[in-house]
Structure 1
Amino acid sequence: MKIQITAGGIYDGEGKEVPIGTTFDVKDEPQAWKGRYGVVSEGGDGKTPVINPDNATGFAVAETSPGWFVINKDGQAVTKKLRQSDLEGFDGLSDEDKAAFADLHK
């Protein structure tokens, strides 16, 4: 199975945070990471992974501390800290609207 990291808070064996967008091949879903990754493919012979085109911009919402979130662009925070209620519907925005939203909340 292949997973893709979609939020911060996952660290490698050396204590460095794994960049958002990194993919891993895993045997089973890592339940401790629930909510911070997406399944790209279930694994299988001859299957081509399909990545959600809504995430193609590199924008992702990441929790920085309990109840506080930022918007990351290509793994780097591009907004101030926001509450979850401020971010409702963000994932459904167009690429241009995501960029505009991020600009408004610098």
Structure 2
Amino acid sequence: MSKQVTLENLLPGGFGLPTGQVIPGRGSIVVEPEIWEASKDHPVVAAQVKAGAIIVDGKGRKQPEASDVRDENGDTPEMAEMRKRFDASFAALTTELQAEKSKVGDLEARLAVGQSEQDGPKAPANQAGCGYAIAERGPGWFSITFDGKEVTKGLRKDAVERFEKLSDADKKAFVQANKAEA
């Protein structure tokens, strides 16, 4: 009794031998030596063996081509290089984004205290021409000004007499509640 021959098909689809046997796609079969002898010289079978698509008894396996070599991420060398470039540009953009977010945070903080980007820090309230101040509009009538501009409607003395003792947040709330009519 002679040794059987193992045929392995590396192609995705089945491969039929001229003798009727089919090697399943990416699979293998074991055939008698006579069947292999009758099939091996067929031009299509010989071409597939030569191309490395059909492996006979484990002989003739092709070494993986450079394009088939993959790293731990499953990337080809070209893809790995692209990944490195992407990671570098992503890191740079992330850094830039963080810087911009910081600027936004600073601007939001300034807006919360009523400053614009060009204003810079405000002088303490109640200094001449800076911050909130109480202005007399006429006998018994007062208003609150901010940097010299009237920001509230006319108020009686009892409504404004404790204004200067309020916190900045309370002053803003008071002004909002008593806005000047446009």
Shorter-chain TM-score category? 0.3 to 0.5
Scaled by the length of structure 1, the TM-score of the pair is 0.47
Q: Which has the higher contact order (CA 8 A, sep 6+)?
A: 1
Scaled by the length of structure 2, the TM-score of the pair is 0.28
Larger radius of gyration: 2
